[in-house]
Structure 1
């Protein structure tokens, strides 16, 4: 709303309405201090013509304003003995200085307006008595020119601030799109990984152990439904709150990491957890970031080191949450012959077009923490330190 007000003052109000209203007030001052005649009325109508056009949102060049806004008031001053018409000329000076469309027209207007009282005194020949009027009107011309210059500077500042705000809006929208893309990647990527593990396990034991196969299919269905709910919650962020149709499900947190790892273990991934401290009191933002980091790291172990044992360690410190996910080397199996090609990324969350490691870093950077990922002996290690917050706000994840 404030930005809209700045736009209005800098564009339409400042040059399209305020100046014409001031010109009308100056013309009324002339009528109040001078005898009204048909000639005076007609001349002032001509002097008010550019201001009327501006009030009607018609573009007027600088030279018509200089000619009609200064020249005609000068004629009124001499022909009808109406010094108050100089205020109309001062107004033209202020407008030309504020718009800055023509330096030459601005200079002519300033010199012409300052010369009007000098010429009037020279014609009357009463310099000793009238020189204070020259000083007053000359000073007024200088002040109006300075005011126009200040207004011009403010208009440029408003334009620069508006442009900067527009760029910030675009950057914020892009960042929000990236964040939602990372959320969708985390939710769908891990969910599909666990679902596929359960489906593979069910297929392998379907003939000899139908009960185990049915249990694996049940887990796949449950994980798939959970992932679908997460995606719906993320997509719900793009909707208007009034159209959401109810409250969004709570975001996963640090306390949900154990269940996350248990689902992966039940699906056949050799992973275990080491939890130290009360994770239930971790604030929402930190807990969500920790959950997504573990979710992404565990999913990457399945993709990049299938069959490798992994350990998820979460330590609740007084001022931060330490998260680490380490996996060993995958079991050695005879590699089938394959067509030569570029080698696959050695570690999880590679940079080959993926969003895993980049998503982790963006989440941790937003909280002011640190994250690292790289080789660790014969395996891979992801470590993150997330600062704790005193209070948390529920956000959909």
Structure 2
């Protein structure tokens, strides 16, 4: 999934470019509405110094900005009889509200721009309160609007930052989940294939001197299983290709391949019998792959923990809503001395049972595994209502 680029209006664009440009426009208005004098020109230049620093991408602290961006324009208003300097003070206050680096500097600038300067303007102009109360109200209201705008920009920037972090976390979580899924697939494919190959090789070794033809046939089956395993691993690793890379991957196994899987294990020497009921062609690819991997892992565990024990695989699609799978193996005829940790006990860090449980949970299915009176039983149920192929209903 591609990440969406999130941009913030309250970021560098606003605080590093838009505010300085607005200050430049305000300075031009001050010069245009104030009698030209050396003092007024010097005051305007002094008011533009902090904005030149900001536009040059040089950091300026909140208190220096409060002084140079708010107090200095205030002095220009009072001493230079330039009411337009109030707009420069409002911009400085808005910038402090947008950056939010110091609450003290922001409050100080707000009091000066919203309260002090609007009150001083009538006094400087020599007018009475009754004559200039509307002007004072306009400047005070403009100050509150500038402060609110700065706060909105700050909040927007904070939300954008939070969304970027959340997006990164989601992307990392999706990547981790995909790696776990691929690791489970590799575990299932390689584990089962090695089990079948070792059974064939062991059988060939036992009959090599007595029946070379049978040994050669067993080795040929081991080679075929190895090649098939290599194709499956290539298909899984192909998922790691970068977008845009193309390749021909073999199809993923489905529910209809479970009988062939059991037959392959039986041919290799594992005493397994498969009982399939219902129409497995109607099972969707996701549910079918999950069922196939579950049986594959269960057969590998049965050979590892109970070699020589009879295994019964039952797959039922009689229920239109669920696919039922069970794999039962009896106790080993001869104690193998093998640990039951990897894949069954779960105390040795095995991934077999955990992988099956997570795979089924992702599809909304149920999973259970544990000993019973006849040995070891793995049972699972996968809902099919939302996992059928798109053309299944159309074909009926």
SS at the partner of 1:252?
Answer: coil
- The TM-score normalised by the length of structure 1 is 0.90
1:149 counterpart residue number: 151
* Gaps in structure 1 of 5+ consecutive residues: none
C-alpha root-mean-square deviation of aligned residues, in Å? 2.2
Q: Which moved more, 1:18-27 or 1:298-307?
A: 18-27
In the aligned structure 2, how far is the partner of 1:181 from the partner of 1:37? Answer: 77
In the aligned structure 2, how far is the partner of 1:58 from the partner of 1:109? Answer: 21
Once the two structures are superposed, residues 114-172 of structure 1 have per-residue CA deviations (whole angstroms, 9 ceiling, x without a partner) of 21121121231332211101111111112222222232223222222322222222222
| Structure 1 residues 156 and 258, CA gap change in structure 2 (3 angstroms) | same
1:359 aligned to 348, 355, 358, which one?
355
In the aligned structure 2, how far is the partner of 1:170 from the partner of 1:322? Answer: 34
Q: Which moved more, 1:284-293 or 1:37-46?
A: 37-46
The reply to whether residue 13 of structure 1 matches residue 9 of structure 2 is: no
1:213 counterpart residue number: 215
Q: CA deviation at 1:3?
A: 5.1
| Structure 1 residues 390 and 48, CA gap change in structure 2 (3 angstroms) | farther
2:394 counterpart residue number: none
2:388 counterpart residue number: 390
2:280 counterpart residue number: 279
In the aligned structure 1, how far is the partner of 2:343 from the partner of 2:238? Answer: 30
Contact 1:350 1:356 in 2 (8 A): no
1:192 counterpart residue number: 194
In the aligned structure 2, how far is the partner of 1:157 from the partner of 1:208? Answer: 77
In the aligned structure 2, how far is the partner of 1:267 from the partner of 1:385? Answer: 28
Higher relative contact order (CA closer than 8 Å, sequence separation 6+): 1
Q: CA deviation at 1:5?
A: 2.8
- The TM-score normalised by the length of structure 2 is 0.90
In the aligned structure 2, how far is the partner of 1:5 from the partner of 1:311? Answer: 55
1:350 aligned to 327, 345, 348, which one?
345
Contact 1:313 1:324 in 2 (8 A): yes
Q: CA deviation at 1:15?
A: 2.0
| Structure 1 residues 213 and 366, CA gap change in structure 2 (3 angstroms) | same
The reply to whether residue 247 of structure 1 matches residue 248 of structure 2 is: yes
In the aligned structure 2, how far is the partner of 1:68 from the partner of 1:346? Answer: 71
**1:1-397 to 2 correspondences below 5 Å:** 4-6=5-7, 8-113=8-113, 114-123=115-124, 124-244=126-246, 246-316=247-317, 317-331=319-333, 333=334, 344-345=339-340, 349-351=344-346, 352-388=348-384, 389-391=387-389
In the aligned structure 2, how far is the partner of 1:62 from the partner of 1:311? Answer: 75
In the aligned structure 1, how far is the partner of 2:269 from the partner of 2:157? Answer: 66
Contact 1:347 1:380 in 2 (8 A): no
Q: CA deviation at 1:39?
A: 4.1
* Gaps in structure 2 of 5+ consecutive residues: 392-396
Q: Which moved more, 1:261-270 or 1:97-106?
A: 97-106
Contact 1:284 1:392 in 2 (8 A): no
Aligned residues: 384
SS at the partner of 2:222?
Answer: helix
Q: CA deviation at 1:43?
A: 2.4
Q: Which moved more, 1:216-225 or 1:205-214?
A: 205-214
